[in-house]
Amino acid sequence: MAHAAGYVTTETVPANSWASSAASRAVMSANKGRDTKPEKRLRSALHRQGLRYRVGVRPLPGLRRTADVVFTKARVAVFVDGCYWHGCPEHHRPAKKGAQFWREKIAGNRARDAETNEALNSEGWFVIRVWEHEDPERAALEVARVVASRRDVTPRAQS
């Protein structure tokens, strides 16, 4: 697919690159950080529920974490986690090449996710994590339920 998309070139891999080949570098470079298909499907389902939200926002300005969908008044942050990148217990399959690197990478992602959840929860936010394989309509219903129950949440005093 990287060839078809025009990402693979004849250039060599830079000496300081982690990539094992130009092809793997091209594939990894093409991965999107936001507006992925699962995110768009969830956002469409949320919109059909009549919900309005912010996209790609840091719920806590001082914390370098960006939620995929944010309901600021209700203080709800939604993250759409990829099965591979976040180690889905149902679908994650360990890499065969560079296994140690990827094991550490996924473990780091999971630890960061837990840290993010804790930081947001301690500031009065409700965190919802949706796996990319989950039905977006069902996920949207759950998000709508939580947002409705938290409509009148007052922000914590800033210290």
What is the full per-residue pLDDT of the chain (159 aa) written as tens digits? Answer: 656 666 655 667 677 766 666 665 565 555 556 679 999 999 999 999 999 999 989 999 999 999 999 999 999 999 999 988 888 888 878 877 878 888 899 999 999 999 999 999 999 999 999 999 999 999 999 999 999 999 866 665 554
pTM, two decimals, is 0.78
- Which residues on adjacent β-strands are paired with residue 70? 54, 77
**Which of helix, strand or coil describes residue 28?**
helix
For domain 33-149, give the CATH number.
3.40.960.10
Q: Which two tokens stand for residue 112?
A: 């960061």
- The answer to whether 69 and 126 have CB atoms below 8 angstroms apart is no
pLDDT of residue 97: 82
**Nearby residues of 141 by Cβ (< 8 Å), 6 or more positions away:** 49
pLDDT of residue 95: 79
Number of residues assigned to the chain: 159
Domain locations along the chain: 1-31, 33-149
Q: Give residue 96's Cα distance to chain centre.
A: 24
Q: What distance in Å separates the CA atoms of residue 60 and residue 77, rounded to the nearest whole number?
A: 10
